[in-house]
Amino acid sequence: MLDAPAHPGRTRTDTARPLVQVRDLKMYFPIYSGVLRRRSGDVKAVDGVSFDILSGETLGLVGESGCGKSTVGRALLRLYDPTAGSVTIDGEDIATLSPGALRRKRPTMQMVFQDPQASLNPRMPLSDLIGEPLIEHTDWNAERRLARIYELMDAVGLNRRFANRFPYEFSGGQRQRIGIARALALNPKFIVCDEPIAALDVSIQAQVVNLLEDLQDRFGLTYLFISHDLSMVRHIADRVAVMYLGRIAELSPRDALYSRPLHPYAEALLSAVPEPDPNVAATRTRIILKGDVPSPANPPKGCNFNTRCPRAFDRCRVEKPDLVEVEPGRLVACHLYSPDTRHAGSTGSPEAAIQARPEHFQQGAPK
């Protein structure tokens, strides 16, 4: 990159310090009702979320529609003003920065949007689209900007001849490359990928994800990868956070989570991933949750998941579980794994609790 600060040694394995620290992030959207448009409540889209993203890693953020994944991503970059909590990116608290300081901070954190059609101004040619961040944050002349635009186009695999074309002339995958080039233009350290592949064909999804991984290796990027595509998250993420109704249910390293999910919701979610091997698929139990997601405007008392949880017990209905480390590197917000429950229960260990599960999972299971 032209005047990129060198980041020697910032690779995936260098996970010494967290680049992004989120503490108790809350994002409420007010509901106004009645004739006088009084504030009658809040949609608690994100309700107390805390996590770290280490430098150079990819944190996957999964969950069903409407659970607040995208809101977390947008609040992280302060596209929404968070209701409470702090977001520290590279040593500065984003949530409280002044508008001017936030603007200067923007180059370190960028976003790739879900719908590349909607996130590109239809009246701007490609060169202007990619050059926009440069106009905002550098005082380069047109020639130097153009050189950088061409570099970026090369980096994301767009032909230089396309510089004059408009978004409607590109395919979905190409448009998403434009979106990625825009995000890369200012040499960011941290990129929020907000369902970057959800609007793309399956054949193109792999291209874009591979491009993202390739760019991460080359430039030492840190990603928050928001998606509902569990197998794609498994492919790209180092650690995965599972969200349910505005809270993180489980935050675990990828392999551990996919092989043995701890939180009942994570378990149910992962059982929905199609299994390519028919022999394995035949022996698997598919956990089908009953009922709907409660409204985030009126979340249930106690654990968010207690209305649908097959293993909920009395404590879940009164007390909100905190996200605590139950095994090295694995954080779960579930009373099943809290120390007092564990000691009180006869099974003694969460593994035993899991093995005891089939009797609770009769409903909806085909076998």
Residues that bind other proteins (CB under 8 A): 1-2, 4, 6-8, 10-11, 74, 77, 79, 102-104, 106-107, 110-111, 113-115, 118-128, 132-133, 136-137, 146, 150-152, 154-155, 160-161, 163-164, 166, 168-169, 179, 182, 185-186, 218-220
In the complex, the smallest distance separating the C-beta of residue 168 from other proteins, rounded to whole angstroms, is 5
Using the structure block, give the residue that is written with the tokens 């959800």: 198
Minimum CB distance to other proteins smaller for 79 or for 318: 79
Minimum CB distance to other proteins smaller for 92 or for 151: 151
Minimum CB distance to other proteins smaller for 163 or for 297: 163
Give start and end residues of each alpha helix (H) in 12-115.
Answer: 69-76, 99-105
Sheet strand arrangement including 84-89 = 38-54, 18-33, 84-89, 92-93
Minimum CB distance to other proteins smaller for 163 or for 288: 163
Asked whether 172 and 116 are in contact (CB, 8 A), the reply is yes
Minimum CB distance to other proteins smaller for 189 or for 308: 189
- φ/ψ of 43, rounded to 5, equals -90, 115
Minimum CB distance to other proteins smaller for 152 or for 289: 152
Distance CA 6, CA 146 (A): 22
- 213-249 residues labelled b (16+ CB within 10 A) or e (exposed): bebbeebbbbbbbbbbbbebbbbbbbbbbbbbbbbbb
Give start and end residues of each alpha helix (H) in 190-305.
Answer: 202-219, 230-236, 254-259, 264-270, 278-283
Give start and end residues of each alpha helix (H) in 33-141.
Answer: 69-76, 99-105, 126-137
Distance CA 156, CA 205 (A): 14
Collapsing DSSP to helix, strand or coil, 136 comes out as: helix
DSSP 213: H
Minimum CB distance to other proteins smaller for 59 or for 178: 178
